[in-house]
Amino acid sequence: MRIAVCPGSFDPITNGHLDIIKRASLLFDKVVVLVSVNPSKNCSFTQEERVEMIKECTQNMENVSVDTFSGLLADYVRDNNACAIVKGLRAVSDFEYEFQQSLANKNINPNAETVFLTTSAEFMFLSSSLVKQIALFGGDISDFVPQVILDQIQKRLRKL
């Protein structure tokens, strides 16, 4: 069984993330969306809230599950017999950071291969922080996040 891990902060999950998860689910037997800790980010949603939102958006994807982990990604990959880390690449600006992460993960766990999927063109500019900023100022984020979690995101972020 080929298991892939799709890690991220997902604060909150966007249509861009969902596109990568869907495409990964066609390439691997099983995909675990892993809500992980990025120490350089202050999140607006708790880990549990992010897990619940991802579950709602992926419930129609049979081979996708959601998990949360507060340790090193490379250790999670090893302990869960995953063969790949799947990341989306939007632009050249993502590359340097992702390249560094991928080499560090491989250094910690030599079996942790990172597979990059290029973003679909329509999501090239999209990020969770952009969504949060638009929502904060009352803008329309309905094109950017899955419909099922739109209300929840708007309610939370407008209060900030």
Question: Can you tell me which of 5, 8, 32, 144 binds ligand PNS, judged by CB under 6 A?
Answer: 8
Q: Quick check: 119 binds ligand PNS (CB under 6 A)?
A: no
Side-chain-side CA neighbours of 97 within 13 Å: the count stands at 10
- CB–CB of 74/47 below 8 Å? no
Active site residue 44: no
Catalytic residue among 17, 50, 87, 132: 17
Catalytic residue among 50, 87, 90, 132: 90
Stretch 62-101: interaction string toward ligand PNS, x if CB under 6 A:
----------xx---------------------------x
- CB–CB of 158/138 below 8 Å? yes
Q: Quick check: 104 binds ligand PNS (CB under 6 A)?
A: yes
Catalytic residue among 9, 25, 128, 132: 128
Q: Quick check: 37 binds ligand PNS (CB under 6 A)?
A: yes
Q: Quick check: 16 binds ligand PNS (CB under 6 A)?
A: no
User: Whole-number minimum distance, CB 63 to ligand PNS, in Å?
Assistant: 21
The amino acid sitting at 153 is I
Question: Can you tell me which of 2, 27, 29, 38 binds ligand PNS, judged by CB under 6 A?
Answer: 38
Active site residue 156: no
At 46 the three-state DSSP class reads coil
Active site residue 129: no
Neighbours of 124 (CB within 10 A): 11
Spatial distance between the Cα atoms of 37 and 121, rounded to a whole number of angstroms: 27
Distances (CA, A) of 58 to 3, 67, 119, 143: 16, 12, 18, 17
Which two tokens mark 52? 């619940």
Residues that bind ligand PNS (CB under 6 A): 7-9, 36-38, 41, 72-73, 101, 104-105
